[in-house]
Structure 1
Amino acid sequence: MLRARLIVVLAALVAASGCMGGGLPNPFEASESGDRSIRVEVRNFNFADATLYAYRGAERMRLGVVTGKTDRDYQLAWPATQSMRVEINLLAGERCTTRTQNVSPGDVIYVQIPVELRTDPDCT
């Protein structure tokens, strides 16, 4: 059974692979170029279109719409490590909010929208 999950993955390999010579940078810090964003990758296994919102603390930000049975990626400004949850609103009316996770600049967030949202134990 597919579940809506919010999985945080650090992009340490990406940060380390771009280095030439010298010591390796700390993969847990944002680059000096000021990259203060995260990427949200969404897979919608449901037939209904879904509108997604990200919560950074108490701030609600609209990510966009993911058409049924498609994938979509979003880039979101993320200035510092903060709590995050994702709200999923299906066109047919079902709604779900994921569990809260701490997210840092440079993280990649994976969200899967299951066929039956109301039975998913990861949704509140």
Structure 2
Amino acid sequence: MVDDALDRAFAALSDPVRRAMVARLSRGPATVNELAEPFDITLQAVSKHISVLESAGLVWRTREAQRRPVHLDAAALERLTSWIDRYRLEAERQYRRLDALLAAPPAPSPEQSKRIKEKES
């Protein structure tokens, strides 16, 4: 169930128009007309994009008299961010281990160890 929700959300966000709509909605609710303003597409196309975002659980609509504003679901974005962070943090841990390994002085070769022992004797 969780994977299906992630798949739908990332698929919805794969489109630049929908990402721009999410960015706009991050500033507050907007109507279909307001969301359509920056794009050279039909209102029908905008409504279709909103439906995809709605199906992905990223936005929801309310009714205020004649207006039907679209709202961003911040909790849904937080779930996506948490999923990404889990893998980002693991990758960072691996890079820190690699950095530490590369920063450590190299271990002496067996031949160098032999010479060191001879000097100490």
Q: TM class, shorter-chain normalised?
A: under 0.3
| Structure with a larger share of its residues in helix | 2
| Structure with a larger share of its residues in strand | 1
Scaled by the length of structure 1, the TM-score of the pair is: 0.21
Larger RCO (CA within 8 A; separation ≥ 6) = 1
